[in-house]
């Protein structure tokens, strides 16, 4: 966290660029397409890689990692922390209260619950890939089950 605070003080926030990799991860080839179209550095699309580069000067086989607060702070500063954490709390609350009524809420709550301990040491949207995959698998399974019953 202190490395990211120092980085933001020197270079400013990334305005979401540091969150792009986990957001684009569910879509095949989307990361390489965005890198090519917008001429971005792939190491700047993840806060964990930025932390490692700031400390060691290069990205090797291992790194320092990140945490959820540093990830949000790097992307949007203190304003982002004040906005995105209540939003994450809302997602948990919504999915918990609608667990039995909605396939979307069921898959969201299941993924958030499975990452409850790890999410503190991960990037903010780390669970997003697994949520999308889980939701699509459940959706297709239900559709296939309906077709085979008919």
Cα separation, 53 vs 125, in Å, equals 21
**Global pTM value:** 0.89
CB 18, CB 47: distance < 8 Å? yes
Cα separation, 107 vs 135, in Å, equals 6
* The two structure tokens encoding residue 79: 């304003």
The C-alpha angle 30, 49, 31, rounded to 5 degrees, equals 5
Q: Is the pLDDT of residue 150 over 80?
A: no
pLDDT in tens, 35-74: 999 999 988 999 988 998 888 887 777 788 889 999 999 9
CB 139, CB 103: distance < 8 Å? yes
Give the pLDDT score at 62.
78
pLDDT in tens, 128-149: 999 999 999 999 999 998 888 8
Element (H, E) at 60: none
């Amino acid at each position: 966290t202190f490395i990211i605070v120092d980085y933001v003080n020197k270079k400013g926030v990334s305005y979401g660029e540091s969150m792009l990799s986990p957001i684009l991860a569910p879509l095949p080839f989307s990361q390489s397409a965005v890198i090519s179209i917008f001429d971005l550095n792939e190491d700047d699309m993840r806060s964990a890689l930025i932390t490692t580069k700031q400390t060691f000067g290069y990205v090797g086989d291992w790194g320092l990692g990140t945490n959820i607060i540093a990830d949000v702070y790097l992307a949007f500063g203190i304003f982002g922390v004040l906005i995105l954490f209540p939003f994450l709390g809302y997602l948990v609350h919504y999915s918990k209260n609608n667990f039995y009524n909605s396939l979307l809420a069921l898959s969201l709550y299941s993924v958030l619950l499975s990452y409850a301990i790890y999410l503190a040491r991960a990037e903010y949207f780390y669970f997003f890939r697994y949520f999308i995959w889980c939701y699509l698998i459940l959706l297709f399974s239900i559709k296939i089950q309906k077709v085979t019953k008919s």
